């Protein structure tokens, strides 16, 4: 086995470990409450949002595709690189209609599913519009079975408006038989803290749905990317093993 081949195996293996380590250690989100806990990490996570393309620019409710990786976005981990398909409106911005969005096809991604460690982002779920802003998320596993165990972590990252450190700005939540419900009804009416929260998925997902009854709150996905420090250590370690291995391997087999 050549040193180059071993090095490529090492890089790929460590990339997978780095991408999933945080999700494996994250505390699952269960139960219910009036306000989600304020996440420990300020700012968005090291990640990339997908580039979204409408299936029909003249029909905002028909569906869309999402692309991760060049040339559409900066590089992401290999499991997320590729294209996914969704049916229904893009569940963000008041320029897009409300409704049910079905993320039905992740086979175009490197992992052929939506890998654990994906960031699920909700934002502006509060009382600012004086309406019942809410999001309902339901998921199925890679075999098509409904996921009934906790599949999202407690929120890990927070950013956005002035409410990022205010416990009363966090939306309420409930978890029942695998279904997550987030609501702004527990945030004071008229209070518009406009915060974004990122949760980590804890399981590989075959498909999921987002129900957005009105257009004043938002949902999106983000794929993790290697942080510069982690990537540098990875490459240095891999290079060291490559150089050591090169002294023993004289020819590929």
Is residue 2 a part of any domain in this protein? Answer: no
Residue 21 resides in a domain: no
Residue 145 lies in a domain: yes
Q: CB within 8 A of 188, min separation 6: which ones?
A: 127, 168
Would 173 be classed as within a structural domain? yes
What digits encode the pLDDT tens for the residues 182-221?
999 999 888 999 999 999 999 999 999 999 999 999 999 9
Tell me how many domains the chain contains.
1
One digit per residue, the tens of pLDDT, for the chain of length 253 reads: 444 334 333 444 444 444 444 555 789 999 999 999 999 999 999 999 999 999 999 999 999 999 999 999 999 999 999 999 999 999 999 999 999 999 999 999 999 999 999 999 999 999 887 887 999 999 999 999 999 999 999 999 999 988 899 999 999 999 999 999 999 999 988 899 999 999 999 999 999 999 999 999 999 999 999 876 544 444 444 444 334 444 333 323 3
Mind listing the pLDDT tens digit for each residue in 15-41? Answer: 444 444 455 578 999 999 999 999 999
177 in a structural domain: yes
Within-domain flag for 140: yes
Instruction: Kindly state whether residue 195 falls inside one of the protein's structural domains.
Output: yes
Domain with 116 in it: 27-226
3 belongs to a structural domain:
no
């Amino acid at each position: 086995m050549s040193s180059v081949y071993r090095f490529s195996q090492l890089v790929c293996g460590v990339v997978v470990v780095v991408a999933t380590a945080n999700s494996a250690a994250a505390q699952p989100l269960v139960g219910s409450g009036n306000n989600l806990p304020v996440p420990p990490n300020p700012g968005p996570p090291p990640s990339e949002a997908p580039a979204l393309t409408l299936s029909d620019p003249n029909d905002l409710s028909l569906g869309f595709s999402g692309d991760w990786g060049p040339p559409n976005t900066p590089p992401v981990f290999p499991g997320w690189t590729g294209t996914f398909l969704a049916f229904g409106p893009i569940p963000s911005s008041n320029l897009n209609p409300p409704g049910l969005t079905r993320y039905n096809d992740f086979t175009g991604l490197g992992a052929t599913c939506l890998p654990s460690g994906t960031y699920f982002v909700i934002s502006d779920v509060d009382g600012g519009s004086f309406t019942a802003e809410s999001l309902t998320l339901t998921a199925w596993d890679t075999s098509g079975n409904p996921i009934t165990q906790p599949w999202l972590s407690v929120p890990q990252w927070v950013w956005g408006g002035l409410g990022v450190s205010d416990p009363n700005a966090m939306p309420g939540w409930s978890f029942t038989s695998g279904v997550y419900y987030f609501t702004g009804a527990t945030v004071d009416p008229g209070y518009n803290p406009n915060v974004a929260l990122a949760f980590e998925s804890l399981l590989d997902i075959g498909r999921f749905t987002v129900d957005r009854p009105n257009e004043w709150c938002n949902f999106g996905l983000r794929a993790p990317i290697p942080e510069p420090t982690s990537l540098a250590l990875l490459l240095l370690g891999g290079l060291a093993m490559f150089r050591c291995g090169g002294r023993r391997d004289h020819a590929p087999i």
